């Protein structure tokens, strides 16, 4: 019979790698704690409608990447393809805004998208991200970009580029959309089918195009910056001067739209040169219209999501490895009484917080020493009938080769000193 394999685009995180994941996750938890963000965990699947409304039916995510199915009650449900919509759903459902006027949340979670798997692009992948709900002011935009950027620096990423834009508020969007359509109309025949559809549904998405000849066309498209209201412009200027005062480098990119109707003002993306084709490591923006779209009262919000697999790929390129935590003690059993005594001793050592291991295969002394070396043990304890009679065990320092006898009762205090 064939052995079964995992689904294309999904990955096991094997023991050797899970240490890196734990270290990265711990880093994020500590980082977010420092910034005053609290963790939120939402279910793996939601009603499909949440994403149709909360991400937008014209996005790649909703139009072609979702894993959706009908459950037993014929409800259409979807494995979450992104985390913002579920977080907002939860925020509204539990009325978190009543507890504090500014709600600061973060997550470390998986997401599912039916995409063509390739390096840095998978069908189940992971993101960490934050959402700050309740403030329209540029100081929170500054904080969100600072968190996105400084957390990546803390994870060891280098040479990052922050691309930044402001797409203004909904007031200026109508005029811009018309100007953009006027510009694109003569090029309609040169556009892809997707872009032609977006011309009617959401023409701003076309600015985000990854199709090279379309990117060439939109280079000379009208620029949203020229349509911003004075309040939008003031917001953007304040954000930029905040970034400068924190020495956070950024490049303005007038075509960075990140496409949703309810996106407002700030949009940003962080690019790592270590990633090749899938160079975007983080995407974020302000979504002042989203909470209302999902049935809440108008509430400003802003957030970002960073792809964890892409962070790990960039770490690989920078030669960053997680330090393995070596076994401190390996207990060697010379005979049956020695093994019985070691089973008690190892339990005491472990309960005292000392990383210890022993042989469970009844192997020869030589093989047990080999195993101790493989685990990088600092000390071995040797225990057998003779030791038990003498009321001691042998302790050998594997670095110096020194060996001495010690009473089991003194072992823990000896090791912890
Ligand atoms: P891309 O342009 O690469 O498709 P995106 O705009 O779809 O990215 P977002 O939805 O903004 O990405 O998600 C934020 C981050 O999540 C991305 O910058 C990336 O690091 C990561 N990400 C997105 N899709 C995938 C995927 N299929 N596999 C792995 N990581 C992903
Ligand atoms: Mg994508």
Q: Looking at the chain, which residues constitute the CATH 3.40.50.800 domain(s)?
A: 329-416
215-246: pLDDT as tens digits? 899 989 999 989 999 999 999 999 999 999 99
| Mutate which of 7, 282, 307, 314 for ligand 1 pocket (most atoms within 8 A of beta carbon) | 307
Q: Which CATH superfamily is domain 15-169+229-317 in?
A: Bira Bifunctional Protein; Domain 2 (3.30.930.10)
Atom of ligand 1 nearest to the CA of 305: 14
Looking only at the bridges linking them, the beta strands covering 45-47 and 403-406 are unpaired
249-308: pLDDT as tens digits? 999 998 888 766 678 999 999 999 999 888 899 999 999 999 999 999 999 999 999 999
**Closest residue by CA, ligand 1 atom 25:** 121
153-181: pLDDT as tens digits? 999 999 999 999 999 988 888 889 899 99
Per residue in 24-48, is it b (16+ CB within 10 Å) or e — as a string? beeebeebbeebebeebebeebbeb
Give distance in angstroms: CA of 227 to centre of ligand 1.
29
Element (H, E) at 238: helix 230-245
The model's pTM is 0.92
Give distance in angstroms: CA of 15 to centre of ligand 2.
29
In a 3-state reduction of DSSP, which class is residue 68?
strand
Single out the residue of 414, 394, 415 nearest to residue 404, CA to CA.
394
In DSSP terms, 126 is beta-bridged to 110
Atom of ligand 1 nearest to the CA of 281: 20
| Structural contact between residues 80 and 86, judged by C-beta atoms closer than 8 angstroms | yes
pLDDT of residue 63: 85
| Structural contact between residues 383 and 332, judged by C-beta atoms closer than 8 angstroms | yes
Architecture of domain 329-416: 3-Layer(aba) Sandwich (3.40)
| Mutate which of 80, 110, 114, 127 for ligand 1 pocket (most atoms within 8 A of beta carbon) | 127
* Ligand 1-lining residues (CB < 6 angstroms): 82, 113, 115, 120-122, 125, 127, 278, 280-283, 305, 307, 309-310
Q: Looking at the chain, which residues constitute the CATH 3.30.930.10 domain(s)?
A: 15-169+229-317
Per residue in 153-180, is it b (16+ CB within 10 Å) or e — as a string? eebebeebebbbbbbbbeebbeebbebb
pLDDT of residue 354: 94
301-360: pLDDT as tens digits? 999 999 999 999 999 999 988 777 788 999 999 999 999 999 999 999 999 999 999 999
């Amino acid at each position: 019979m064939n052995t079964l394999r995992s689904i294309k685009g999904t990955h096991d995180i094997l023991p050797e790698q899970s240490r890196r994941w734990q270290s990265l996750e711990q880093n994020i938890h500590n980082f977010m704690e420092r910034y005053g963000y609290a963790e939120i965990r939402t279910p793996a699947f939601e009603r499909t409608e949440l994403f149709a409304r909360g991400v937008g039916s014209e996005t790649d995510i909703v139009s072609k990447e979702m894993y959706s199915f009908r459950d037993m009650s014929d409800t259409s449900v979807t494995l979450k393809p992104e985390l913002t919509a579920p977080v907002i759903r939860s925020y509204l459902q539990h009325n978190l805004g009543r507890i504090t006027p500014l709600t600061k949340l973060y997550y470390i979670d998986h997401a599912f998208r039916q995409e063509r798997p390739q390096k840095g692009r998978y069908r189940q992948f992971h993101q960490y991200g934050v959402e700050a709900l309740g403030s329209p002011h540029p100081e929170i935009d500054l904080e969100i970009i600072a968190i996105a950027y400084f957390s990546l620096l803390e994870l060891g990423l280098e040479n990052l580029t922050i691309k930044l834009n402001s797409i203004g508020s909904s007031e200026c969007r109508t005029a811009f959309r018309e100007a953009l359509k006027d510009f694109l109309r003569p090029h309609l025949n040169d556009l892809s089918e997707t872009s032609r559809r977006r011309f009617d549904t959401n023409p701003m998405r076309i600015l985000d195009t990854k199709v090279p000849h379309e990117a060439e066309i939109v280079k000379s498209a009208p620029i949203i910056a020229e349509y911003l209201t004075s309040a939008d412009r003031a917001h953007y200027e304040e954000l930029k001067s905040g970034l400068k005062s924190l020495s956070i480098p950024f490049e303005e990119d007038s075509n960075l739209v990140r496409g949703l109707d309810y996106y407002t003002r700030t949009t940003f993306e962080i690019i790592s040169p270590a990633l090749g084709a899938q160079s975007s490591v983080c995407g974020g923006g302000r979504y002042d219209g989203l909470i209302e779209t999902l049935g809440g009262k108008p509430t400003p919000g802003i957030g970002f999501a960073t792809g964890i697999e892409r962070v790990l790929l960039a770490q690989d390129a920078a030669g960053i490895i997680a330090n393995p935590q070596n076994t401190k003690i390996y207990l060697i059993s010379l005979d049956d009484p020695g093994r019985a005594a070691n089973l008690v001793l190892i339990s005491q050592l472990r309960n005292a917080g000392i990383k210890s291991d022993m042989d469970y295969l009844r192997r020869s002394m030589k093989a047990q020493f080999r195993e101790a070396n493989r685990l990088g043990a600092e000390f071995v304890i040797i225990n057998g009938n003779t030791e038990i009679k003498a009321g001691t065990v042998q302790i050998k320092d594997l670095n110096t080769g020194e060996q001495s006898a010690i009473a089991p009762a003194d072992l823990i205090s000896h090791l912890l000193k």
